[in-house]
Amino acid sequence: ESIKVFAPATVANVACGYDVLGFALEGIGDELIITKTESPGLTITDIHGSNHLSKKPEENVITVAAQALIDSLTKKPDFGLQFELTKKVQPGSGLGSSASSSAAAVFGVNQILGEPFSTTELVRFAMEGEKLASGVPHADNVAPSLLGGFVLIRSYNPLDVIPLQFPDELCATVVHPQIEVKTSDAKKMLRQQIELRDAIVQWGNVAGLVSGLAQGDYGLIGRSLQDVIAEPIRGILIPGFAEAKQKSKEAGALGASISGSGPSIFALSQGMKNAQQVAEAFRKLFEDIGLESYVHVSPI
Ligand code: HSE
């Protein structure tokens, strides 16, 4: 018996929502084939699309996340599971690569076990994969990868995951300039203390963004896509970042910022036509800079 699972790539933070906001992309994500085996235990047989990832069960996010799920069952399965992973989301891209693998693993294992957990309950198991990958069990990639759409992590302790309403025409453009930034490094760069005046700007924008999404107020969404905490520090690592923000606005985007911990950049737009124009602007910019880039456009 074997099943094939797909889990989408994601954009975390969404400018103002460091570790608390994320959304799922369409048409890009990791694929996982999970096969039941007679002998118990978890094994990884193949990893396609990336050379650097370990197949050792304690060193790969898929088996770590799957094991977290199995550990929380009172009745353990009397069979084993074999995983074959196809990576379409590049590690270190800022598009939730590890999250996409972790989400696929827990979703698929839950299916094979007859769904002992709801999809929302799976988030905390997938977070164990994130802990392995980045040192911090953040949920702003795994939650949208599992649930789809726009998601808020209202609280981590206790975990409170809230799917958000958002308008139909909202689309995303992402560009991945072909360099790698490790989330663990990009997390260590940030200061542990922030100024009250920065916090005021940030929580005003988080509330504005959530409210703009709920009301379908594109102007408010655009005004709220600001980050005064992580972006000023992490933006320095991304060649062409300031220009990319500027060009995306000129091409009709509502706003843009770093996708997750970078180096990918995302922009939100009203409608696919605008999102395509932004994609063109991103392509051209990175061509001019002389940096290879991957561009993807998606409805949310
Ligand atoms: N919220 C996480 C961070 C996302 O910014 O470090 C990583 O993709």
User: How confident is the model over 199-212, as pLDDT tens digits?
Assistant: 999 999 999 999 99
**Contact 17 CB / ligand 1 (< 6 Å):** no
* Coil vs helix vs strand at 93: coil
Q: DSSP secondary structure string, 112-126?
A: HTT--S-HHHHHHHH
What is the ipTM for the molecules in this complex? 0.98
- Say how many Å lie between the CA of residue 1 and the centre of ligand 1: 36
Atom of ligand 1 nearest to the CA of 99: 8
Per-residue pLDDT tens for 45-87? 999 999 889 999 999 999 999 999 999 999 999 999 999 999 9
CB-based contact 214:164 (threshold 8 Å): yes
Per-residue pLDDT tens for 2-40? 999 999 999 999 999 999 999 999 999 999 999 999 999
Predicted pLDDT of residue 216: 98
CB-based contact 23:149 (threshold 8 Å): yes
- Say how many Å lie between the CA of residue 219 and the centre of ligand 1: 26
**Contact 123 CB / ligand 1 (< 6 Å):** no
**Upper half-sphere CA count for residue 224 (Cβ side, 13 Å):** 21
**Contact 261 CB / ligand 1 (< 6 Å):** yes
CB-based contact 249:204 (threshold 8 Å): no
- Say how many Å lie between the CA of residue 44 and the centre of ligand 1: 26
Predicted pLDDT of residue 183: 86
Do β-strands 2-12 and 41-48 pair in parallel, antiparallel, or remain unpaired? unpaired
Q: Over 90: is that where the pLDDT of 184 sits? A: no
Which residue's CA is minimally distant from atom 8 of ligand 1?
260
Rounded to a whole number of angstroms, the distance between the first and last alpha carbons of the chain is 33
**Contact 141 CB / ligand 1 (< 6 Å):** yes
Q: Which amino acid is at 55?
A: K
Q: Over 90: is that where the pLDDT of 276 sits? A: yes
- Say how many Å lie between the CA of residue 183 and the centre of ligand 1: 6
- The chain-wide mean pLDDT, for the chain, equals 97
**Upper half-sphere CA count for residue 65 (Cβ side, 13 Å):** 33
Q: DSSP secondary structure string, 219-286?
A: HHHHHH---SSSHHHHGGGSTTHHHHHHHHHHTT-SEEEESTTSS-EEEEEESHHHHHHHHHHHHHHH
Query: Please, where are the H alpha helices in the chain?
Result: 61-71, 97-112, 119-134, 142-147, 183-188, 196-215, 218-224, 231-234, 241-250, 272-289
Per-residue pLDDT tens for 116-161? 999 999 999 999 999 999 999 999 999 999 999 999 999 999 999 9
Predicted pLDDT of residue 213: 98
